[in-house]
A = this chain, B = another copy of it.
């Protein structure tokens, strides 16, 4: 079997970790985890979103999002109100405090991203992202199960 350290999953894992290692210290100084930061960024770009929509945007599973939203709400970084037309849905939005926190983190975050871009090269970065998108596309859909197991 192929040396697993050369496998695609490991390559992706190591690359992502190398990138996130750059951001984590800064986020940590502001009391945010990577996932919390993703949610705030997603919310900052829109007025309000339903939980399910937010999960899709921030690429988090429902249960994780539920917990994080509970915590962010307790910290007054986001606000919730149930939708008028459907009591099941809740509309989530970023609070004033949330906006303020984002403003305090954004400069450092931008600087780190710029540093990464500069180190790796802007053109290569664009190429890489293009390929990652294609990979994602090529694996979307029916799934590459091996057929040996129960498809259910």
Nearest CB of B to A109, in Å: 8
Which residues in B have their C-beta under 8 angstroms from that of A4?
A: 38, 41-42, 45
Q: Tell me which of B22, B25, B121 contacts A149 (CB under 8 A).
A: B25
CB distance B12 to A112 under 8 Å? no
How many identical subunits does the complex contain? Answer: 2
Q: How far is the CA of A109 from the CA of B11 in the complex (A)?
A: 17
CB distance B124 to A139 under 8 Å? no
Q: Tell me which of B5, B18, B26, B145 contacts A140 (CB under 8 A).
A: B18
Q: Mark A102-139, 1 if CB is under 8 A from B, else 0.
A: 00001111111101100111001101110111111011
Q: How far is the CA of A5 from the CA of B44 in the complex (A)?
A: 12
- Tell me whether A146 is interfacial, beta carbon within 8 Å: yes
Q: How far is the CA of A124 from the CA of B136 in the complex (A)?
A: 13
Chain A residues in the interface with B (C-beta under 8 A): 1-23, 25-26, 29, 34, 38, 41-42, 44-45, 57, 59, 106-113, 115-116, 119-121, 124-125, 127-129, 131-136, 138-140, 143-150
A-B contact pairs, 19 of them (CB 8 A): A4-B42, A5-B42, A8-B19, A9-B16, A9-B19, A9-B20, A9-B34, A11-B128, A11-B129, A11-B133, A12-B12, A12-B15, A15-B132, A17-B59, A18-B135, A29-B149, A111-B148, A116-B144, A128-B135
